[in-house]
């Protein structure tokens, strides 16, 4: 009986892992543009020789693709990619979400696989922002779709004349605000030169993008802003430094000033599984920090002279919240 139980346990793990195969397959396909290579029916031999790939390994990838439904055999030894994979997992497609596969498979999974080593040595990895900042800035734009509407509502209600987006990435939020409020003064601050360069290509020249560190910017800025955005940013700052960060926000904000924070929250009502995993990833790095909780945000905000005006989930299963702070009168 116990042998049978063991066999069932082993089988359960195999089964659980089946989903991973789909992700792996999609990732390889995205990375090497393989779904595009099979947009029209093609044989493995021809495709391998045209694109200089190992035909044996390509055959194996195709075999998996057929099994997980990413490809289908069209007869005469030819294969064709599923339309959905061409649309969503191809670099050329404007609707591609493949970059998320890159982030998961090149950043998150390798970190999690290092866990035994890290646990035993109590060492941490270094998050290589120069390697990943473009991927991360781009994957953040998926969340933007859910978050932009409440941000625009907040802007409509608060009517800020000047807004600063800290860690602005590709300036998606500022661009949306600019379209609705072309007279509002908009400043984005971004550390990564590669991200800044791309952002400048993407956005209106009305948005003033400053390359540099947030703290340096906040300490040297001598104007006043009415709203600060800190979206997907807090985990770059140590928990014990966040109240100080909020103090710096308060210094550059006008009397009626407000802050919008977007961040996954631990110990919140929604998304505990996701935020626990996200926290694991953060803690494995020496230069990334644990996620805040609703209580820690309230405490840090209060200490810096803000009150929490709202804390609403944006993506429940991911534990992502929009938190709005107002300067206390
Ligand atoms: C996760 S992305 C989020 C981008 C954007 N705020 C959004 O929510 O879509 C965080 C961005 O903050 C930038 N960043 C991190 N630490 C920074 C710092 N100390 N100063 C300026 N930018 C920083 C990163 O380079 C990255 O582009």
CA of 192 to the centre of ligand 1 (A): 8
Smallest CA separation from ligand 1 atom 24, residue: 167
Residue 256 CA, ligand 1 centroid: distance in Å: 25
Ligand 1: atom nearest CA of 147 is 8
DSSP 150-192: HHHHHHHHH--SEEEEET-TT-HHHHHHHHH-TTSEEEEEES-
Residue-wise pLDDT for 240-298, tens only, equals: 999 999 999 999 999 999 999 999 999 999 999 999 999 999 999 999 999 999 999 99
SS3 percent helix, strand, coil of the chain, rounded to 5, is 55, 20, 25
CB atoms within 10 A of CB 227: 25
In this predicted model, what pLDDT tens digit does every residue of 68-118 receive, in sequence order? 999 999 999 999 999 999 999 999 999 999 999 999 999 999 999 999 999
* Residue whose CA lies nearest to ligand 1 atom number 9: 140
In the prediction, which pLDDT does 259 show?
Answer: 98
| Alpha carbon nearest to ligand 1 atom 12, residue | 167
Which of 236, 259, 278, 289 is the pocket-test mutation for ligand 1 (most atoms within 8 Å of CB)?
236
pLDDT band of 236, cuts 50, 70, 90: very high
- C-alpha distances (whole Å) from 95 to each of 85, 88, 107, 138, 142 are 11, 6, 22, 13, 11
CA of 72 to the centre of ligand 1 (A): 40
User: Cα dist. 59→31, 42, 63, 100, 140 in Å?
Assistant: 17, 12, 6, 25, 34
How far is 140 from 133, CA to CA, in rounded Å?
A: 10
Q: Ligand 1 atom 27: the closest Cα is on which residue?
A: 169
Q: Residue 279 corresponds to which tokens in the numbers above? A: 């926290």
Rounded to whole angstroms, how far apart are CA atoms 139 and 239? 24
- Rounded to two decimals, what is the model's pTM? 0.93
Which protein residues touch ligand 1 with a CB less than 6 Å away? 129, 133, 136-137, 140-141, 144, 167-169, 172, 189-192, 195, 213-214, 231-233, 236, 262
Supply 81's token pair.
């990619």
130-147 pLDDT per residue, tens: 999 999 999 999 999 889
Residue nearest atom 15 in ligand 1 by C-alpha distance? 167
The dihedrals phi and psi of 170, each to the nearest 5 degrees, come to -90, 15
CATH number for the segment(s) 129-327: 3.40.50.150
**Cα of 199 to ligand 1 centre, how many Å?**
12
Instruction: Output the CA angle 156-158-163, nearest 5 degrees.
Output: 90
Q: Among 233, 315, 318, say which to mutate for ligand 1: greatest number of ligand atoms within 8 Å of CB.
A: 233
- Give the position, in ligand 1's atom list, of the atom nearest the Cα of 189: 21
Residue 329's pLDDT is 78
Which fold, 2-92?
Arc Repressor Mutant, subunit A (1.10.10)
257 CA → ligand 1 middle, Å: 21
Domain residue spans of the chain: 2-92, 129-327
Q: Which of 108, 134, 167 most suits a substitution to test ligand 1, by most atoms within 8 Å of the C-beta?
A: 167
């Amino acid at each position: 009986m116990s042998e049978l139980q063991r066999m069932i346990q082993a089988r359960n793990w195999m089964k659980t892992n089946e989903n991973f195969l789909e992700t792996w397959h999609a990732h390889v396909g995205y990375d090497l543009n393989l779904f595009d290579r099979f947009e029209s029916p093609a044989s493995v031999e021809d495709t391998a020789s045209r694109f200089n790939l190992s035909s044996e390994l390509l055959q194996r990838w195709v075999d998996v693709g057929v099994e997980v439904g990413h490809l289908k055999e069209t007869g005469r030894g030819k294969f064709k990619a599923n339309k959905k994979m061409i649309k969503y997992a191809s670099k050329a497609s404007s609707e591609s979400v493949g970059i998320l596969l890159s982030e998961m498979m090149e950043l998150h999974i390798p970190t999690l696989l290092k866990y035994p080593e890290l646990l035993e040595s109590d060492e941490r990895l270094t998050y290589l922002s120069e390697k990943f900042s473009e991927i991360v800035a781009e994957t953040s734009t998926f969340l933007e779709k859910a978050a932009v509407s409440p941000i625009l509502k907040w802007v409509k209600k608060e009517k800020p004349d000047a807004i600063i987006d800290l860690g602005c990435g590709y300036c998606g939020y500022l661009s949306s605000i600019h379209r609705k409020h072309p007279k509002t003064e908009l400043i984005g601050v971004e550390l990564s030169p590669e991200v800044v360069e791309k952002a400048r290509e993407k956005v209106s020249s009305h948005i003033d993008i400053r390359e540099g560190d947030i703290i340096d910017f906040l300490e040297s800025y001598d104007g006043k802003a009415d709203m600060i955005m800190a979206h997907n940013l807090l985990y770059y700052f140590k928990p014990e430094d966040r109240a100080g960060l909020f103090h710096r926000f308060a210094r550059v904000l006008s009397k009626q000033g407000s802050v919008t924070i977007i961040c996954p929250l631990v110990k919140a009502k929604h998304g505990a599984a996701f935020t626990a995993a996200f926290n694991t990833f953060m803690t494995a790095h020496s230069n990334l920090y644990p996620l805040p909780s609703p209580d820690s945000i309230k405490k840090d905000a209060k200490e810096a002279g803000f009150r929490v005006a709202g804390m609403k989930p944006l993506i429940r299963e991911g534990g992502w919240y929009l938190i709005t702070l107002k300067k206390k009168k």
